[in-house]
Amino acid sequence: MAIRKPSKQQFDSPGLFTEEMLGEEVTPAEAPLGPLTVADSDDAIRFISFGSGSSGNCSYVGDTKGGFLIDAGVDPLKVEQSLRGAGIDMTKVRGILLTHDHGDHVRYVYSLLRNHRHLLVYCTPKVMNGLLRRHSISRRIRDYHRAIYKEFEFKIGNFVVTPFEVSHDGSDNCGFYISHGTRSMAVATDLGCITERVRHYMSRVNFIVLESNYDLEMLMTGSYPDYLKARIVANQGHLDNQVSAGFVAEIWTPILSHVFLCHLSNDNNRPEKAFAAYCEAMKKTHPELTVGDGLRENLSDLQVIVLPRFDATPLFVLR
């Protein structure tokens, strides 16, 4: 299955900076990404999605000691209530990682920072500049900023995170490679095509969070104006079910146990269509592979879980 790629990749250059500027110790990501020794022996990664789609995106990644949020596009009250329901207090949340500056990913970032003064916001300087251009976000957000740079690791709690380039039309769009002991996860919520950096990180993880935004037939026969359809299918737009599924089928190895499908379109997709695309792609590439929907994990080789648009998921403990 052909996978669309941009004609020219663009990579962020970190330039010259100090560890103090970053707020964390940094290491070039081209160094071996081996296991990290963590304080507790449980390598499991805890994951919750509070909402996924153009109405708002936010998720939690953590361990038994605490964790962090990825994006801040969901009402803080819902985030706090969902965390509390999973036995996680906001004091255990160490920061907010931002993928890019679109409103459905950053709408509530300053509210979270203002209400929980211990939090920091981790994003590239270009993403921070995008936030500062928004009239709805206070310029005091700079006081909470910890600059991160693509292809350079930083530590947050017991996790090591490497931001990487993804192809989208926001400011300085990032995916995240997240390692915790012997377990690892890659997250790419908004992207129009599979680049080599996406392939590099997603080919080596146990758990993937990846966009499966639209069904091409639904999009093309739907009511969206032509300019919007063109934006969505562009290499800096969003990812089609077939491309998303074909890519994961191509890179799958037995170490990959869970794929979470995120950012499904409300108008141009259905959860059953995204799931069916994955089942079809996996059957074609790996005929012996069994695919489950996360309900009976012990009966399937790979779990493909569609993240709900508006609702919070249960706490997933990924081992």
C-beta separation of 191 from 211 below 8 A = yes
Provide the pLDDT confidence category of residue 135 given band limits of 50, 70 and 90.
Answer: confident
Helix (H) or strand (E) holding 159: strand 159-165
pTM: 0.87
Q: Helix or strand or coil: residue 215?
A: coil
Nearest CA-CA partner of 212 in 261, 282, 165, 163: 261
Please give the single-letter amino acid code of residue 173.
Answer: N
DSSP 295: S
Determine which of 31-35, 129-133, 291-295 has the lowest per-residue pLDDT on average.
31-35
The domain defined by 42-318 folds into Metallo-beta-lactamase; Chain A (3.60.15)
**pLDDT above 60 for 21:** no
Residues 6 or more apart from 281 whose CB is under 8 A from it? 1, 242, 245, 246, 248, 249
E-only strand ranges, 24-103: 45-51, 58-62, 67-70, 93-97
pLDDT at residue number 16 = 33
For 207-251, write each residue's pLDDT tens digit. 999 999 999 999 999 999 999 999 999 999 999 999 999 999 999
DSSP string computed for 225-280: -HHHHHHHHSTTS--BHHHHHHHHHHH--TT--EEEEE---SSS--HHHHHHHHHH
Alpha-helix runs per DSSP H in 102-225: 103-106, 109-115, 125-132, 196-202, 216-221
- Average pLDDT of the chain to the nearest whole number: 89
Average pLDDT over residues 285-304: 89
pLDDT at residue number 36 = 33
Average pLDDT over residues 290-308: 89
pLDDT at residue number 23 = 41
Provide the pLDDT confidence category of residue 28 given band limits of 50, 70 and 90.
Answer: very low
C-beta separation of 238 from 192 below 8 A = yes
d(CA 173, CA 235): 13
Size of the chain in residues = 319
Average pLDDT over residues 255-273: 97
Radius of gyration of the chain (CA): 18
DSSP 299: G
